[in-house]
Structure 1
Amino acid sequence: MSGGHGHGHTAGADRRYLIGALALIAGYMAVEVVAGVIANSIALISDAAHLLTDASAIALALVAMRIAARPAGGAYTFGYQRAEILSAQINGVTLLLLVAYFAYEGVRRLLDPPDVHGPVVLGTAVAGVAVNALAAWLLSRANRRSLNVEGAFQHVLNDMYAFIATAVSGAVVWLTGFRQADTIAALVVAALMLKAGWGLLRDSGRVLLQAAPAGLDPDEIGRLLAAQRDVEEVHDLHVWTVTSGYPTLSAHVLVARGADCHRVRTRLADLLHERFAIGHTTLQVDHGAPGLERHCVDPHGPRHSDPLKSPYGEP
């Protein structure tokens, strides 16, 4: 049994940029709630709710970064690095719950549109575009390998687009008196929240279910390993992600009689790192021939072997 270690995993995003973006968003969120109540605008209030999810995403990212930095020990052999994945799940669920509320409220207001103060909506939304643009710039300078940081960045970016839609609706209400424009803008915001929430749940769910990282095909990896010199078979191949930017692989490798197990293991670990950027590998390497000896009590997954090779490397 042997392992190649080299996580290539950084600690997380720059806390200063996240704190700066959080202060901007939280401060403007309070302003927008007041403006939304004064203008009787569901578009502004829904934008404020989106800002709340943005602020929550950044706050959770900061907390998760602190938790994930704790050293591994005891039962937590990988440490607490999946804290960011759990916070991404929470953020995604929150987004979807808000989508349901604003979709319901939006449909209700389409049928019975209230009076909306267009100039207040327009002015507040234009200021919101500027605030979100600055927050997005701050987050773009942080380490976006973290799923939380990238999710927060996408939220703020989507929120900027939502503010643009709200500004347009405010101008339409002000200039034409078409009150439904405010509700249509709110539904656009809800659609953006749905996209962001679903994306977070999908990506974090893949990590929690230990699916192979996007862009890595376990079958392709298995075939490549089996085609290497002195390798007879590869099975029990597992590829998963511990946390953002931390792909991990384990496998059982059978090598030809007379081959140096340590050299084969080192060669395969280097190949995985160079071709697939997998720095954390655990390879169990044994001598044996496919189908002739049983090394695993309960082997999982497909077996990979090169059909051009015969047992023990014989021609």
Structure 2
Amino acid sequence: MAGEADRAEAHDHDRGQSVTAANERRIRLVFIFTTTYAAIQAAGGWFSGSLALIADSGHMVSDAAALLLALIAYRVARRPADGTRTYGFHRVRVLAALANGATLLLLVVWIAWEAVQRINAPGEVLAGPMLAVAVVGLLVNVAGAYLLWSGNASDSNLRGALLHVLGDLVGSVGAIAAAIGIMLTGWALLDPLLSVLVAGLVVRSAWTLVSDSLRVLLQATPRGVDATQAETGIRSLPGVAEAGHFHAWTLADETIVATVHVSARPDADPLALPPVVSDWLKGRYGIEHVTVQVDPLGQLVSRGD
């Protein structure tokens, strides 16, 4: 291989997500339920004086945002790439997730501050209205969980939405327990204490959104993928003499792209390497879109990017 480098590429262009109309309808219905109840819960928390309900409404908003992102994912999957956006519009939902997570972290700061104030000076909590709103929330979350549970279990969007709704269900059970506790004991401190617990759930969801979004936007190596180990594994493949300049990044939540340079052994066909490397990366790391460049033997320096 003298003169110009002999380059070959192996591509798997199926970057879209599976779009199921029935699953999209399920998520849309649960999104409407969740958003409506979040508004009712916030109003009920303000009326009853329950910080726990207000905090849980923030949790519901975070889950409604996650459901909205799942709906966006279905729509984005239908939009084709063009000459300017060759990867389509996958990053739109990443930006939305980052904004959502940052807003929720600010909400948590307010909830924690208000909870401290109420622990130091407990206020009156109307346990009856608080219980009524919490029971409605439980029914809404049970209905939403049933809708999502009955969908296609292989749909990652649907599974993620179900986990969020189950978290809301636990929050509703906690609010019911706090309301009953206040009714039986008159101990209003149960409300701010529960609000702190719910705020902890919001922090977890919000921080996951922020950290995952930043990883994508900074084009960090996806979780579970180690560049050095990947290069070592590629070097062990038949016909591969050298491997280096491995890069992998995430387009959206689940679409991983990778590029790598390899050199062929003297007795190997350089054009046979790209599909071998691409298949190995797909099987080992689940990377669907791989570009393999074949360089002349001896000119490749590993990790010399």
TM-score for the superposition, normalised by structure 2: 0.87
Structure 1 segment 133-212 matched on structure 2, within 5 A: 133-140=142-149, 141=151, 144-146=155-157, 152-212=161-221
Q: Does 2:300 correspond to 1:301?
A: no
Q: For the Cα contact (< 8 Å) 1:5–1:281, is it kept in 2? A: yes
Cα distance, 1:8 vs structure 2 = 5.5
SS in 1 for 2:181: helix
Q: Does 2:107 correspond to 1:105?
A: no
Q: Which residue of 1 aligns with 2:136?
A: 127
Write out per-residue CA displacement over residues 155-196 of structure 1, whole angstroms, 9 at most, x where no aligned residue: 333222222221111111100010111111111111110011
Q: Which residue of 1 aligns with 2:45?
A: 36
Cα distance, 1:201 vs structure 2 = 1.3
Q: Compared with structure 1, are the counterparts of its residues 159 and 247 closer, same or farther at alpha carbon in structure 2 (3 Å cutoff)?
A: same
Q: Which residue of 2 aligns with 1:3?
A: 10
Q: Please tell me the residue identity of whatever aligns with 2:303.
A: G
Q: 2:223 aligns with which of 207, 214, 232?
A: 214
Q: For the Cα contact (< 8 Å) 2:17–2:77, is it kept in 1? A: no
Q: 1:47 aligns with which of 18, 39, 56?
A: 56
Cα distance, 1:106 vs structure 2 = 0.8
SS in 1 for 2:90: coil
Q: For the Cα contact (< 8 Å) 1:165–1:188, is it kept in 2? A: no
Q: Which residue of 1 aligns with 2:3?
A: none
Q: Which residue of 2 aligns with 1:88?
A: 97
Q: Which residue of 1 aligns with 2:4?
A: none
- Structure 1 residues 3-12 or 232-241, which shifts more? 3-12
Q: Does 2:304 correspond to 1:275?
A: no
- Structure 1 residues 248-257 or 115-124, which shifts more? 115-124
Q: For the Cα contact (< 8 Å) 1:249–1:281, is it kept in 2? A: yes
Q: Please tell me the residue identity of whatever aligns with 1:95.
A: L
Q: Does 2:147 correspond to 1:118?
A: no
SS in 1 for 2:280: helix
Q: For the Cα contact (< 8 Å) 1:68–1:83, is it kept in 2? A: no
Q: Distance in 2 between matches of 1:98 and 1:39?
A: 20
Write out per-residue CA displacement over residues 132-170 of structure 1, whole angstroms, 9 at most, x where no aligned residue: 232234345367534xx6665443332222222211111
Q: Which residue of 1 aligns with 2:295?
A: 286
Q: Distance in 2 between matches of 1:227 and 1:5?
A: 22
Q: Compared with structure 1, are the counterparts of its residues 262 and 229 closer, same or farther at alpha carbon in structure 2 (3 Å cutoff)?
A: same
Q: Which residue of 2 aligns with 1:17?
A: 26
Write out per-residue CA displacement over residues 114-136 of structure 1, whole angstroms, 9 at most, x where no aligned residue: 11121222232122122123223
Q: Distance in 2 between matches of 1:92 and 1:151?
A: 16
Q: Does 2:244 correspond to 1:244?
A: no
Write out per-residue CA displacement over residues 197-229 of structure 1, whole angstroms, 9 at most, x where no aligned residue: 111112222222222222222222211111122
Q: For the Cα contact (< 8 Å) 1:222–1:237, is it kept in 2? A: yes
Unaligned runs of 5+ in 1: 304-315
Q: Distance in 2 between matches of 1:226 and 1:263?
A: 14
Unaligned runs of 5+ in 2: 1-6
Q: What is the RMSD of the two structures over their aligned residues, measured on CA atoms? A: 2.4
- Structure 1 residues 112-121 or 172-181, which shifts more? 112-121
Q: Distance in 1 between matches of 2:197 and 2:231?
A: 44
Q: Does 2:268 correspond to 1:254?
A: no
Q: Please tell me the residue identity of whatever aligns with 2:184.
A: L
